[in-house]
């Protein structure tokens, strides 16, 4: 077994001598990385710009083309949101006085609370506002996912 160890040691020594003759590549690799990063940055910037412009165009075109369907969809969303917020307000209105009377014996009117105001306000929003809200949320979601994926990949 000693011959095996000796063999590997000799081989390694031989390769170490070979490695000693190689020029330090630190600066070269650093330059390659810098170049690669610059390229990646430009590519990412371009794809984001193009993607953003494309998205806006597609969104605008689809609104024009499917305006009736979009209007119906947002009316439906508005109704659902109104119903849900109405339900929340109802639950809150029922729960709040019960909780207050149970905890400290203080009575309060549900109609003056901030939740009620907010829900009645939201349920009254027109279709256009809902569209803007969902568009902003969609874009935000896409940008967030994009950032997350890219930060995982690094460079």
Partner 1 sequence: MQDVADIQRVLRGDMRAYAALVNRYQSMVFVLVRSVCRSTEDAQEITQDVFLKVYRQLYTFKGNASFRTWLYRIAYNTAISWKRKSKVREKAEDAYTRNEVYSARPADEEPDPEREEQYERLRGLVEELPPQEKMLIELYYYKDLKMEEVAYISGMTLSNAKVRIFRIRQKLQQAMTQA
Footprint of partner 1 (CB under 8 A): 1, 3-5, 7-12, 14-20, 22, 24-30, 32-34, 36, 154-155
Mutual orientation of helices 127-153 and 67-103 as an angle, nearest 10°? 90
Report in angstroms how near the CB of residue 6 gets to partner 1 at its nearest. 9
End-to-end CA distance of the chain: 46
Pick between residue 14 and residue 87 the one whose CB is nearest to partner 1: 14
Pick between residue 24 and residue 105 the one whose CB is nearest to partner 1: 24
List the structure tokens of 77.
């969303």
Rounded to an integer, what is the distance from CA 154 to the centroid of its chain? Answer: 17
Pick between residue 30 and residue 99 the one whose CB is nearest to partner 1: 30
């Amino acid at each position: 077994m000693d011959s095996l160890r000796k063999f590997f040691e000799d081989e390694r020594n031989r390769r170490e001598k070979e490695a000693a003759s190689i020029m330090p590549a630190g600066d070269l690799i650093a330059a390659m990385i810098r170049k690669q990063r610059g390229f990646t940055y430009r590519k990412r910037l371009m794809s984001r710009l193009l993607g953003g412009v494309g998205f806006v165009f597609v969104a605008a075109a689809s609104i024009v083309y499917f305006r009736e369907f979009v209007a119906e969809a947002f009316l439906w969303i508005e109704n659902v949101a109104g119903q849900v917020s109405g339900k929340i307000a109802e639950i809150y209105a029922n729960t709040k006085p019960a909780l207050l009377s149970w905890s400290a014996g203080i009575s309060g009117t549900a109609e003056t609370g901030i939740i009620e105001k907010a829900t009645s306000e939201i349920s009254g929003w027109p279709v256009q506002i809902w569209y803007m809200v969902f568009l902003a949320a969609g874009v935000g979601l896409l940008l967030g996912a994009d950032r997350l994926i890219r930060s995982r990949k690094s460079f």
